[in-house]
Amino acid sequence: MLLTVAVLPGDGIGPEVTAEAVRALEAVALAFGHKIELRLKEIGAASIRRWRSPLPEETLDACIQSDAVLLGSVGDPEFDDLPLEARPEAGLLKLRRELGAFANLRPVVAFPGLEASSPLKPARLSGTDIIIVRELLGGIYFGEPRGFETGGHAVEAVNTMRYGEREVERVAAIAFELARTRRSKVTSVDKANVLECSRLWRRTVAKIAGDYPDVALDHQYVDSCAAALISRPSTFDVILTENMFGDILSDEAGALVGSLGLLASGSIGARVGLYEPVHGSAPDIAGREIANPIGAVLSAALMLRHSFDLEIEAACIERSVCDALAAGCRTRDLVDDGRYLTTSRMGEIIADQILNSAREHGARAT
């Protein structure tokens, strides 16, 4: 199978972790007899410096013409004082809109052997396996009007939370379909006791649930869900929520497993999916070979699963990551002492595990 992937390393540690995700994909291609066509393009601060745009047309065209997009990270404090539309992050927001990627998937899994990295007691963390489905193109991040207003002697700011029924229906359907492949439970998170948007959200999700009688649905307020993620995380299966709530809850859930560096994400909806690690660009550690590449590698696994329907290959990457961690392999974010692997060494070990795992499971390793 030919896999055409636009690769956008981006800023900060993005190029380092993306290189290891590509290494994992190349190992999969070798083991399973696929071919990969990589289209390397720029986004974010790197693109601003060269093209004076956070998302040049050349990059956007390459993404639209590919089967999937693999992204590193965007963001650089050098541009923090610019207007929002001129910052590196604006390139990512525009790319999501142009690709029609309305649903963000964030798996949160407690890896065996990393219990000491979590702030929770092992007994409380055990069995945690959640996927957060976040609506990505609506809500308060995109609602109009927005901005600053000057009246009299005071400056005011306004943001607008807005949702349409169709926006909720399409992301809810993705959550219910995912639940069917897992433990058949969806928890819809809102603030329906005070927000009209949340009342529409709850009503619409309940309507979609009627098409999935085999999937259990419960509703939680966002503050209650935030508390439950700490007190009983293993009780969740699929969490479905709107844009801002999902942004906050997914970072909270990520802290449960010990490091944001472990977390992958995929943004899907239209034909081309966008896959990236959850962590930011971390410019303070860029170029030092200490970033954790696992989030990027697992994002590549999500890409194989959701954009190419290659479940066996995706599972091979995930199994290889688990094997590396079980063998005691750790990057700096996962240890308290000075003994840790570099970014590239961790990526190399995972790639070797992919080849070994593929052979053990009868793949076309060569």
Q: Which of 201, 228, 256 is the last residue of a domain?
A: 256
**C-beta separation of 273 from 266 below 8 A:** yes
Q: Does pTM surpass 0.75?
A: yes
The pLDDT-based confidence of 363 (bands split at 50, 70, 90) is low
> 3-class SS at 217?
strand
Do 131 and 219 lie in one domain? The reply is: yes
Do 129 and 237 lie in one domain? The reply is: yes
Do 334 and 349 lie in one domain? The reply is: yes
Do 249 and 278 lie in one domain? The reply is: no
Do 335 and 360 lie in one domain? The reply is: yes
- Decide if 337 is catalytic: no
Q: Residue 30: what pLDDT?
A: 97
Q: Residue 254: what pLDDT?
A: 84
Average pLDDT over residues 303-320: 97
Report d(CA 263, CA 22) in Å as an integer.
17
Least confident of 28-32, 45-49, 148-152: 148-152
Type and span of the H or E element at 8: strand 2-10
Q: Over the stretch 97-124, which tens digit does the pLDDT of each residue have?
A: 999 999 999 999 999 889 888 999 999 9
Average pLDDT over residues 290-314: 98
Pairing mode of beta strands 143-151, 154-160 = antiparallel
Two structure tokens written together for 319: 């199994």
Q: Of 2, 1, 75, 10, nearest to 274 (Cα)? A: 10
For residue 277, whether the previous peptide bond is cis, meaning omega lies within 30 degrees of 0, is no
- Decide if 185 is catalytic: no
Q: Over the stretch 154-171, which tens digit does the pLDDT of each residue have?
A: 899 999 999 999 999 999
Q: How is residue 366 annotated by DSSP?
A: -
Report d(CA 262, CA 108) in Å as an integer.
9
The pLDDT-based confidence of 364 (bands split at 50, 70, 90) is low
Q: One of 41, 190, 191, 333 is an active-site residue; which one?
A: 191
Percent of the chain with pLDDT over 90: 86
Do 235 and 279 lie in one domain? The reply is: no
Do 315 and 192 lie in one domain? The reply is: no
Average pLDDT over residues 173-180: 98
Q: One of 163, 247, 275, 333 is an active-site residue; which one?
A: 247
Q: Residue 365: what pLDDT?
A: 44
Do 81 and 140 lie in one domain? The reply is: no
Do 209 and 327 lie in one domain? The reply is: no
What CATH number did the domain enclosing 292 receive? Answer: 3.40.718.10
Two structure tokens written together for 304: 């194989």
Structural domain for 139, as ranges? 122-256
Two structure tokens written together for 196: 């009209």
Average pLDDT over residues 75-88: 92
Do 262 and 114 lie in one domain? The reply is: yes
- Decide if 221 is catalytic: no
- Decide if 76 is catalytic: no
pLDDT of 366 higher than 70: no
Q: Residue 191: what pLDDT?
A: 98
Least confident of 12-21, 140-149, 316-325: 140-149
Q: Which of 256, 271, 297 is the last residue of a domain?
A: 256
- Exposure of 291 in the CB half-sphere (CA atoms within 13 A): 30
Q: Which of 256, 271, 305 is the last residue of a domain?
A: 256
Percent of the chain with pLDDT over 70: 99
Q: One of 251, 323, 340, 352 is an active-site residue; which one?
A: 251
| Positive or negative torsion for Cα 210, 133, 316, 41 | positive
Do 309 and 281 lie in one domain? The reply is: yes
Two structure tokens written together for 86: 């001129």
Q: One of 67, 141, 185, 340 is an active-site residue; which one?
A: 141
The total domain count for the chain is 2
Average confidence score pLDDT of the chain: 95
Report d(CA 222, CA 197) in Å as an integer.
13
pLDDT of 293 higher than 80: yes
- Decide if 129 is catalytic: no
Residues 6+ apart with CB under 8 A from 262: 111, 114, 254, 292, 294, 295, 298
Report d(CA 244, CA 249) in Å as an integer.
9
Q: Residue 115: what pLDDT?
A: 86
Report d(CA 285, CA 271) in Å as an integer.
34
Do 142 and 236 lie in one domain? The reply is: yes
Q: Over the stretch 251-277, which tens digit does the pLDDT of each residue have?
A: 898 889 888 999 999 999 988 999 999
Q: How is residue 194 annotated by DSSP?
A: T
